[in-house]
Structure 1
Amino acid sequence: MDAAAGGAAGGLEVVVFPWLAFGHMIPFLELSKRLAERGNAVTFVSTPRNLARLPPMPAHLSARLRFMPLQLPAVEGLPEGAESTADVPTDKIDLLKKAMDGLAAPLAAFLMDTVAAGRRPDWIVLDFCHNWVPPSAHRRPAQGSMRPVPDPPCRLRGLSGAALGERRAPAHGAGALHRAAQVFERCRLVICRSCHELEPRMFALLSNLLRKPAVPSGILLPAAPDDHRNSSSGGVDPHHVLRWLDDQPPKSVIYVALGTEAPLTLENIHELALGLELAEVRFLWLLGKPAGSNKVAGPLPAGFEERTRARGVVCTGWVPQMKALAHDATGAFLTHCGWGSTIESFAFGLPLVMLPFIIDTPIIARSMVQRGIGVQVARDERDGSFNRDGVATAVRRVMSEYEGKVLATNAKKLKEVVVDEGRQEQYIHELEEHLRRYKDV
């Protein structure tokens, strides 16, 4: 049985094309696996290096889930070999979008070859920034048009522009919000990585607002802890990190990770470091690159690592986040409140310390505060800045014996509601029914 057999046997033929960030690729891959499990033929499109860094696929899906590499074109200023947001500092991400735009012709050629081979896609599931895909998909009346559908793990809320300071539109091409608006305008339906239990009013609201179906996919947690991306941890072996956690008391460590796109300055990093030091708690910190730098964060505050060595580890590469969050020693999560990271925290019932920066993350943070599962780091209302005292106060509250226990109890209650495999399969079943119902409309 080959990849075409899903469609030939009555299944759907689906092309999945996520944005070049692992926070997007992993949930898109989970959606692809779940659709393939139900007998549909799925083609997952990305660049060669990104595909090589994805987790291995179950052997039984190899007949229905295939991977299509498209070579990312060179763009002046983009580091050689950079194919995802994990490979570039935040100020180079717009160049990555420009390079991704160069995939238009290779994607069109792939789609034409697919049609010629008798496997006309029923749907193209695309991401927030692929505004050039829908016109291409609809320009083939002789073969019948292909139906684009966005699946935005970054959340539709990004259209609100709610951020601590608007992100400047890139000098080239369309800005992220403009791209997303065009995608949502041109698509046939919208898939949201969420569920009714988590956001009961959102889907009807979006359907009315967009005048097209907004369909939940469920939260799409990976089936197993992450073992993908065999990247370096900046001199710290990821397995050493887990062994360090093994030596810590239960629920004593706060895991700190602010994603790959939070625009952290060197000053932000120093205030965060000194706040962790002031809080006097154990921590595991996945430290990324500051804005405007091609290098890892560089010098931490003078003497910081020596002063905190007995109770903290700083990693400057990749850490198996799901395993770190799942570990018995981990008691809380300091996060930028990206939707993917927030969802991963649900899986383990962890309370949150929240430090949002851009797009929808401030809205997500407020929602988690309202649910009583986290504390937001205080910011200056005039410029959105934060300091070490605000970090230390929030961390102490979440790790404290009384308030931390209340937050953890609320987080575990939320876990019981949204992390349910039976509900997840029902959402995929209903999504598949929508795809069948609307494919010929």
Structure 2
Amino acid sequence: MFPWFAFGHFIPYLHLSNKLAERGHGVSFIVPKGAQSKLQNLNHYPNLINFYPLLIPHVDGLPLGAETASDVPLPLHMHLAIALDQTQHQVETILTTLKPDFIFFDFSYWMPVLAHQFGTKAIFYSVVSSATLSFHMVPSKKIAKYSTNEELVQPPPGYPSLSVLLKPKEFEIAKVKILVEDQGTGTSLYFRITSSLKDCDAIALRTNHEVEGTYCTVVYCAFGSQTILQKNQFQELVLGFELSRQPFFVSLSAPDGCATIEEALPEGFEERVRGRGWVYGGWVPQTLMLEHKSVGCFVTHCGHGSMWESLLSNCQIVCVPYLLSDHIMSARLMVEELKVAVEVEREDNGWISKESLSHSIISVMDKDSEVAGLVKYNHAKLKEGWIGLDEDDDVV
């Protein structure tokens, strides 16, 4: 554990440490020397959680002896960030001895590179709200656009709320804090966070689905390895994901006549969805994807294997059967008989428009939608009926 030098970060990291230790994991907690005594009483597993104290170097502009954000007024916090960076050699020495499997961090943007030198996975663990991250930390050149006549700042593409926003004056204040640079290093808080998000091996958020589910939900799409689309239909589909304004991960084969996914994407698509969506042409472990709590919707071609995997998941289901009889029949079963999914409407010539795909995704992802509530309820009731089945039963 290597959190930012503030008790609002130490304590959540220690809560996580206790949860890991409860499951038998050993935890090494790197902390400023003076803060250790204040945290010791929160360590519920002292036999498994060990503190490794750091000597915090003095940085010009900081009060003598300052170690944490509690010792420093807010305008000088970026000086404290410089002090954090100057502990890198001490941290490296500790890691050389420990060689941990994982390291959780937040403000130390240099941690992923250092961790990888030891074969360690670097996990960015955010203790701020998911809404904050998704609004401010989208890795683009501009955080948000708005005019001075608007009451609220316009959210970045894919942001799921029109009410959890900042007013222009609030945004200007927050933007200054986010973009302010460390004195002498040119490293802003915005750069620290976005670099950490980009370079880490995994992102962990201190939240739960009931509170911030709309800020963590991802739409996952896969059409199987044998479905090869025409380029124009491929482009229309990915534009549908863009139009839905939902974060998404799409796994598709390169369309007919294209050697790679990248050359098939519509012009400007990657730039517009950067930080929100990704189209990938490689193999994906689908069952693991569908088990992940952040995946809220599965857009499927309704191959028989995918049908069962979707039914065994907790995801909302959108069916796009690709003109094979078994795919169509599987979709009809889920949509008309079981009523656990919706099917994207095709035009008379079989074409699927971006508007139809977007409409279907939104219909199951909107928590206030009657359709979303119905298919979610029916899906849950169906799974409830499977509880207790033996491994030899067909559904398994």
Shared fold by TM > 0.5?
no
Provide TM-score, normalisation by structure 1.
0.39
Q: Which has the higher contact order (CA 8 A, sep 6+)?
A: 1
User: TM-score, structure 2 length as denominator?
Assistant: 0.43
* Bigger Cα Rg: 2
